[in-house]
A and B are shown apart, each in its own frame.
Chain A
Amino acid sequence: MLLDKYQKPLYWHIRGIVKNHEDADDVLQNVFIKVYKGIKNFKEDSKLYTWLYRIATNESLTFLKRRARHLQISNEELQTRIVENLESDVYFNGDDIQLALEKAIAQLPEKQQLVFQMKYHQDMKYEDMSEILGTSVGALKSSYHIATKKVTAILQAD
């Protein structure tokens, strides 16, 4: 069944973007509702896997934008607040290095954050990422390269 197969990977993909467990849970619910509603319109020419990830990515980004608008702050400011809250999050047990890495990722532009997470943390293929994000493989490689250099520089500076 679709839910059994994709529940966990989609959850962790969403969690990597929104960071907070409760938020990730909300977004996951919405994703499966959308999947249920849109499964009839799913085109067989694209992979089910990339279609699901595209929905999950869009829902996560929409969630963050809506949250930022609700708090009347910029997306960058929201990212900073989210990683600051990680230190007191009961569902985060990372060490100092992992926390520093999350803070460094949060300073990247939105697209580079996505690319870094999907490549570094999920080791996704560039071809799949290209389908999910609607960006060429070359641009994704370049973006990942730049993101890696930035994260390294931020960590070294700290």
Chain B
Amino acid sequence: MKTTNNIPSKRGFKVPQDYFDTSREVILDNITLEASLSSSSNERYDIPDGYFDNSKNEMLATLSRKLEEESTPAQKTATKVISLKSYYYSIAGVAAALLLLASIVWSQLDTTAGIESIAIAEYLDGEAGDLEQIEFADWLSDDDIDALHNDIALDESVIIDYLDDRTDSYHFYLD
């Protein structure tokens, strides 16, 4: 190998005066700083006696245990598999039951209403026709009657016409 002093003169490169002396000091300072930083960073923490001796064995034991677990996944750590088929069957069953229940309730409600309407209509056509108005009115509660009165808005001319039809001529009285 050539002597290093030949290289700068050959290539035209040069260095500042006393560079290698100062550089040496700088490098040594940097190494000292690096050493103190790396050592001080660990000195801040304390560890139990014999930690590294024990931790190696513990680490190996843990590692071998994990490897063993991984090698027998079916026995120890089998992944739980949920069948989607049974899940869909249960959902469909519940839906069908709800649908059946709803249809039964609906049909009963509808039938009851129908029976009531028909029965009332038949009764009114067949039997209520012979009833006097007073008897018909007995079926009604006071509230119902009030409601009827409220709903009927009688015009004065209608009342006069009614009275004309139902009473004798005023000439009769005059006579």
Chain B nearest Cβ from A66, distance in angstroms: 19
Fill in one digit per residue for A117-131: 1 if any B CB lies within 8 Å of its CB, else 0. Answer: 000011111001000
Q: How large is the interface on A (under 10, 10 to 19, 20 to 34, 35 or more residues)?
A: 20 to 34
Chain B nearest Cβ from A25, distance in angstroms: 7
Separation of A94 and B9 alpha carbons in the complex (Å): 8
Q: Please pick, from A91, A95, A121, A122, the residue contacting B16 in the complex, using a CB distance under 8 A.
A: A91
Chain A nearest Cβ from B75, distance in angstroms: 42
Q: Is the interface of A mostly helix, strand, loop or mixed?
A: helix
Chain A nearest Cβ from B9, distance in angstroms: 9
Q: Please pick, from A28, A37, A121, A122, the residue contacting B23 in the complex, using a CB distance under 8 A.
A: A28
Contact assessment for A11 and B16 in the assembled complex, using a CB-CB cutoff below 8 Å:
no
> Cβ of A92 < 8 Å from any Cβ of B?
yes
Contact assessment for A93 and B2 in the assembled complex, using a CB-CB cutoff below 8 Å:
no
Separation of A28 and B11 alpha carbons in the complex (Å): 19
Contact assessment for B1 and A36 in the assembled complex, using a CB-CB cutoff below 8 Å:
no
Q: Please pick, from A25, A36, A92, A121, the residue contacting B10 in the complex, using a CB distance under 8 A.
A: A121
Contact assessment for A92 and B27 in the assembled complex, using a CB-CB cutoff below 8 Å:
no
Fill in one digit per residue for A12-28: 1 if any B CB lies within 8 Å of its CB, else 0. Answer: 10011001010001001
Contact assessment for B7 and A122 in the assembled complex, using a CB-CB cutoff below 8 Å:
yes
Contact assessment for B4 and A98 in the assembled complex, using a CB-CB cutoff below 8 Å:
no
Give B133-169 interface residues, CB cut-off 8 Å to A: none
Give A79-136 interface residues, CB cut-off 8 Å to B: 86, 91-95, 98-99, 101-102, 121-125, 128
Query: 26 A-B Cβ contacts within 8 A?
Result: A3-B28, A7-B20, A9-B1, A9-B4, A11-B15, A12-B4, A12-B8, A15-B13, A16-B7, A16-B11, A21-B13, A21-B15, A21-B16, A21-B19, A28-B23, A28-B27, A32-B27, A91-B13, A94-B12, A99-B12, A121-B10, A122-B1, A122-B2, A123-B1, A124-B1, A128-B1
Chain B interfacial positions (CB closer than 8 Å to A): 1-2, 4-5, 7-8, 10-16, 19-20, 23-24, 26-28, 30-31, 34-35
Beyond the given pairs A11-B23, A21-B15, A121-B7, 15 more chain A to chain B contacts, judged by CB atoms under 8 angstroms and listed by A's residue number, are A3-B28, A8-B20, A12-B7, A15-B8, A25-B19, A32-B30, A36-B31, A86-B12, A94-B12, A95-B12, A98-B10, A98-B12, A102-B11, A123-B2, A128-B1
